[in-house]
Amino acid sequence: MNDSQYNLIAEDLLLAVEEAIENCEVDIDYEGVGGLLTLTFKNTTKIIINKQAPLHEIWVATKFNGHHFSYSDSDNIWVDKRGGDEFWQFLSAAVSKQAEAEINLSAE
């Protein structure tokens, strides 16, 4: 994947996360600026999702840990380099934990 392809795919992912947060039933504030998306929960904890363009990765920092996701061209998904989790499954679990409510996020 070249830099242009990465930027398009990564920006699409960040926009999809914003839409998913907007459409979920839980009040979560979000702010996206320049490849960085910050989710803020009522308990003041945050999840930060940001592009790492030089590495062609997406990094996610939660209250509990950080994860690096790389894009799998063959599967068209972002995969956690540490645990192998798919991005949306991981993000749903992390958001649920920090929001203290069951939340299922997806790109649809």
In this predicted model, what pLDDT tens digit does every residue of 81-90 receive, in sequence order?
988 999 999 9
As given in the structure block, the two tokens for residue 76 are 């068209």
2 close to 54: Cβ distance less than 8 angstroms:
no
Question: How many CB atoms sit inside 10 A of residue 62's CB?
Answer: 20
Contacts 24+ apart (CB under 8 A), 34-38: 35/10, 35/11
The structural domains of the chain, with segments of one domain joined by +, span: 3-99
Q: Nearest-5° angle of CA 89, CA 93, CA 94?
A: 115
How do residues 27-81 score in pLDDT, each as one tens digit? 999 999 989 999 999 999 999 999 999 999 999 999 999 999 999 988 899 999 9
Q: Report pLDDT for 61.
A: 97
- Taking the C-alpha atoms of residue 57 and residue 98, their distance in angstroms, rounded to an integer, is 23
User: Phi and psi (nearest 5°) for 78?
Assistant: -95, 130
CATH code that applies to domain 3-99: 3.30.920.10
* pTM exceeding the 0.85 threshold for the entire prediction: yes
Residue 108, pLDDT > 80, answer no
Looking at the predicted structure, is the pLDDT value of residue 25 above 90?
Answer: no
